[in-house]
Structure 1
C-alpha cells in the first residue's frame, strides 16, 4: 500500500504560536503526558538510575543517543536535566514545539555563552572539550539583535553571490575525482573515501583556501567536533590556516567567500572575517558529510526506502529531506543560555542555565510524528538546520553538495551494494552528532580512462559584479573530471539503475 505524504494540520486548541503537527497525533483528543517534576535547578534535578542525572557523554550516550533521548522523554517530558562534559548541568530540549520556542525567542534564550552561570562562577575548566562550542568569539552565531543582523547579513549576502550551478560544477569535479580513486578496486569504504572528503574539498574552494589544506582540514574539523583531548589543538590549526587566508585575500582578492566578506559593506574586521570563515567551513563540513553518509546508508539498507524510489514516489531531494527527519546530521546544538528565570516545557529554567537544542529528539517527538514510519515527503518542518534567527544560512549549499555528490557516485557506480550485513555498521557518537564510522560497499570494477580530453569549461552565465555588490557571482570555471567509461548508460536515471529497473 502506498503511504500518503504526511501533511501539516493545526494543533488544538487554537494558538497563534501553535506548532503544526503531523496526522495521527490526535490533536483534539487525549495525548499522553508525563508528570512534570517540581521546579528545580538542573544541578539538583532527579533523573537517571542511581539518583543522578544522565550524561550526554560516555558509553550509553555514544552507543544509542536516540534510545537515551526517549528514556529522558519518558522520565521528564519535553525538557530534561542532563550533564555535559565535566558533569556540568544543562537542560536538553526534547520537544519539537519547545525547540522552536528556544530557537525563535532570543530575548529569553540568548546565543551569547558569556551569560552561562557556570562559566561566570568558574566551574568550567579552561581545557574543556566544549571549548570551541562555548568560547565567545565575534561571530554571528554567538550574538543576537542588531549585532547579529549585521554579521549574519554579511555572511548570507556573501554566500548568495555563489552561482548554484558553479557550486554543482565544483561538486561534480571533486566527486568524480574521488570515484576515480576507487572505481578500479571493486570495493571501498564510502565514509573515508567519499562522504568525509567531498564536503571539505568543495568548501575549501568556496572559502578560498588552497587545495593542499583540504585533507588536513578534514582531520582537524572532525577531531574538533568530536570534542576529543586534542580538540583545542585542532581548533587552533583551523584558525591559523584561515588567518593566513585572510592575509592573502587582503593582499590579493579573488572570487571567494573570504574576499567577499572582506569587501562587504558591513565592514567586518579581520577577526570577524576569520571567525565567520571558520564557522562556515566547519558547520558545512560536519552537516554535509553526515548527510551524505546517512543518505547512502539508507539507500543501501532500507528496503522500504528503495520501494518508494522504485515506485517513483520519491526523488533524490525528497530522499534527503526524509533523512533530515529520520537521521539528521547534527543531534544536538550547544547551546542557548537563559536570560532570566522562565518556564519551558513545564520546567523552571533559571537565569544563566545552559540549554541544548535536541534536533534529533525534536524530529522524533511523538506529538508531531506519532508514526515514525509515515512518509514526510514535501514536509520541511524538521529541525535538522535549527530554526529562528540562527537557522543554518548555508543549508541549500549543503543540499547541493549532498545531492550532486551522491548522484555522481551512483551514476558512476550504479551497482553499489553493501558489502557487510547492515547490523555490523557502527557509529561514533558525540554530544553533537552521530557519525557513521564505515560504509563498506562492493561493485563491478571499472577502468578509469587515462588522458581523456577535457571538455571546454562552462562559460560564465552571469556578468561580473562590482566589488561589494550583494548580487550573484559565478565560481571560476574548473576543469571537469574524465567522463565515465564507454558504454556507461547515462541516459538512464541512476535511481532506476540502482533499483534494478531498466
Structure 2
C-alpha cells in the first residue's frame, strides 16, 4: 500500500472526486476509506466542476479545526473562489455557503451574540407542549396514509413530521410550511433551482416576520423578534433561515435513515422491535453509521497553514466530513451497535455544535416510536438496493421509502 499523497495545494490539483460521490454512493464508508488511503486525513474534493475544497475526514483533525477559529473561520467572505469569480452569483452553492448575518457564519463575540437567540428561544420551549404537538402531528399523518397500496414513508411522513412541527413552533401555517419544505430541499441540493427557491423562502419568512410584528404570539418567531441580541429584522430572518434549514433537513433525514435501516437490517429491526435496543440507542447508532449531515459546510482558512501535512491556502474552504470521521480507525470505526456511545460528531462539536439537539431528538424519537406502534408490520415494497438517495452533497438519506403496512389505531 502506497503512502497517502500529502503536501498538496488545491490550485495544483485536477480531476478531483466530486463531494456528492460520498453521499450518493451505496458504500460511503468505502468512499471515505479510499479518500483516506489516497490523501490521508484531509482530502481534496470538488464541490461543483471547477470549484475545489478540502474535505476533512479525520476525527482528530475535525476537532482541531472547529476549536481554532483564528486559523479556520466561519466567515465565507474569505472564500477564494467567491472573491475571484469562480463561484458566480447564480451558483447553487451560494444559498448554503454565501455570507449570512447569522450565528452559523460568525466567529467570536458576534457568534455568541447571534447564537443566544437560538439557544434561548429553543430552551424556552415547553418540552411537554412540544411533545404533544409532535405526537399529534405524527398520529395525524399516519391517519392520512392510504389504506391500500404502497406508502412513501419519506414524502408522506418523515419529511412532514419535522416540517409541520417546526412550522408550528414558529407559528407558520401548514400550507406555507409545505412550500418552505420545497425550498429547503432545493437549498441542500445545491442545484440550479437553489437560488430561486432560496429567494422564495426569504420572501415567505419576511411576510411571517411582518405579521408577527403586528400580532405577537407565543412562538419562536416572536421570541426571535423580542430577543435583545437581534438588532434588526434582517438578523431575525437570518436566524429563522438557519433554524428552519439546518434543523428541518437534518431531522427528516435522521428519521428516514432510521426507518430505512430498520426496514433493511433484520438484526437491527429485531433488536428495536423486541425492546433490546432503546429508541435513543437506535437513533445514536444511525448518527454513528450514517449521520444525516454527512458533510458539513464550512470553515475557511484565514491564512496559509498546514493541516495533516496538506498545504491549506488562505481562502480555501474546508468541509467537515462528519460521516467520514465516525469511520476513522483512530475513533474506532462503528461497525457494531454500541449503546450509550455519543462521541459521534453528527451534531458537531465546540462552539458551533447544534443548539437544537434536544428538540430534534424529541421529534425523531417520537416519529420512529409512532411508526413502530401504528405501522407494526411495515415492510419495504421494493428491494433494498432500489431505495433512491437524495442527490445532495451535504446530507445523505433516502429520497423515497415505499412500504406496505397495516395501519393500527392510535
The normalised TM-score by structure 1 is 0.78
Write the deviation string for residues 182-225 of structure 1: whole angstroms up to 9, x where unpaired. 16236411111101111111111111212221221121211221
Correspondences of 1:86-165 after superposition (within 5 Å): 86-165=49-128
User: Which residue is 2:259 aligned to?
Assistant: 296
What is the match of residue 42 of structure 1? Answer: 10
Give matches, 1:144-293, under 5 Å: 144-182=107-145, 184-185=147-148, 187-293=150-256
CA contact (8 A) 2:71 2:301 kept: yes
Partner of 1:420: 382
> Among residues 292, 297, 316, which one is paired with 1:329 in the alignment?
292
Once the two structures are superposed, residues 266-313 of structure 1 have per-residue CA deviations (whole angstroms, 9 ceiling, x without a partner) of: 243110001101110111111011001010111122122134336644
Considering fraction of residues, name the structure with more helix: 2
Separation of aligned partners in 1, 2:257 and 2:50: 30
Measured against aligned partners, the alpha-carbon deviations of 1:145-167 in whole angstroms (never above 9, x if no partner) come to: 00110110121011111011111
Please give the secondary structure, in 2, of the residue aligned with 1:434: coil
Structure 1's 60 and 283: CA in aligned 2 closer, same or farther, altered over 3 A? closer
Unaligned runs of 5+ in 2: none
Distance change in 2, residues 1:187/1:38 (3 Å): closer
What does the per-residue CA deviation read over 1:123-168, in whole Å, with 9 as the maximum and x for residues that have no partner?
A: 2211111011221111010000001101101210111110111111
CA RMSD of aligned residues (A): 1.9
Q: How does 1:9-48 map to 2 (within 5 A)?
A: 35-45=3-13
What SS does the corresponding residue of 1:62 show, helix, strand or coil? coil
Give the gaps of 5 or more residues in structure 1: 1-32, 46-50, 447-482, 485-502
Select the structure of larger CA radius of gyration: 1
The residue number in structure 2 matching 1:398 is 360
Does the 8 A contact of 2:22 with 2:393 survive in 1? no
User: CA 1:317/1:348 → structure 2, altered by over 3 Å: closer, same or farther?
Assistant: same
Q: Is the 8 A contact 2:23 2:394 kept in 1?
A: no
Aligned residues, how many?
409
Q: 1:318 aligns with which of 274, 281, 300?
A: 281
Q: For 2:262 and 2:355, locate their aligned partners in 1 and report how far apart those are by CA, in whole Å.
A: 27
Shift of 1:34: 6.9
Q: 1:254 to 1:75 in 2, by over 3 A?
A: same
Residues 207 and 60 of structure 1: CA distance in aligned 2, closer, same or farther (over 3 Å): closer
Deviations along 1:336-393, whole A, 9 cap, x unmatched? 10111222112121211110000111111122124x3223211111111111111111
